[in-house]
Amino acid sequence: MRKQQHHKGWNEIKTNDSWAIFKIMGEFVNGFEKMGTIGPCVSVFGSARTKPGDKYYELAVNIAKSIAEAGYGIITGGGPGIMEAGNKGANFAGGTSVGLNIDLPFEQHDNPFIDADKSLDFDYFFVRKVMFVKYSQGFVVMPGGFGTLDELFEAITLIQTHKIEKFPIILVGTEFWGGLLDWIRNTMLKVKNISPHDLDLIQIVDSESEVVEIIDAFYNGHALSPNF
């Protein structure tokens, strides 16, 4: 009897999973329709916990402002911290400011610097991540936590495996990212889990001018378009 009840519960879960497809589809359709009309953007990633006044918060504001002044919109995860800084910089420059918000039990709330018509809400991380990758002409990665690393390594993996075209991936903050790059070089590369040219997929800088120079130099020879 207990086994039958267990199987019944499992069947109910499977049925609910099937109906979830429609919600997932709705998030994709809404995201594609809105993001497809916005134009070329650069995504800014980093910790939700970074406060105004922190050197990386202020650097993110300046980077986003410079990118917007160069003619690109800014996409962030829509929340506080570095995300807020990115939207703030775009807003200050009068540029496009997009927020891809996710419903979380902590940390996440909409920041006030997102354009009113460019704030999208997601329940699914994987749908939100598709929007970042598809519509970003570059990733600017500030110091962050697991979520930041997740976005970073997903983009590197997709480019490495030729699932998407290459675009600039720029790490900001040598003192923060240097140890990770040293580990990649001295451990992953040393045992041949990656190839030497895979290291060319990422660049590390410390100033807003370097970020804009890298993005502009890349798109002097590449078309601006969705990535897949």
- Higher local confidence (pLDDT), 209 or 20: 209
Q: What is the pLDDT of residue 19?
A: 85
pLDDT in tens, 109-155: 789 999 999 999 999 999 999 999 999 999 999 999 999 999 999 99
Q: Is the pLDDT of residue 181 over 80?
A: yes
Domain residue extents for the chain = 2-219
Q: Rounded to whole angstroms, how far apart are CA atoms 89 and 124?
A: 27
Distances 24 to 21, 125, 155 between C-alpha atoms, Å: 5, 11, 21
Which tops the pLDDT comparison, 15 or 60? 60
- Given a cut of 80, whether residue 9 has pLDDT beyond it is no
The tokens describing 173, both together, are 């903050």
pTM, full prediction: 0.91
**C-alpha–C-alpha distance, residues 30 and 36, integer Å:** 10
Could you say which DSSP state residue 34 is in? H
Angstrom distance (rounded) from CA 45 to CA 55:
15
Contact present, 31 and 135 (Cβ < 8 Å)? no
What's the chain's average pLDDT?
93
Q: Which tokens go with 48? A: 């939700």
3.40.50.10900, 3.40.50.450, 3.30.110.30, 2.120.10.30: CATH of 2-219: 3.40.50.450
Mean pLDDT, residues 53-61 taken together: 98
Average pLDDT of 197-224?
95
The tokens describing 189, both together, are 């590369």
Q: What is the pLDDT of residue 110?
A: 84
- Write out 129-145 in H/E/C secondary structure: HHHHHHHEEEEEECCCC
pLDDT in tens, 75-98: 999 999 999 999 999 999 999 999
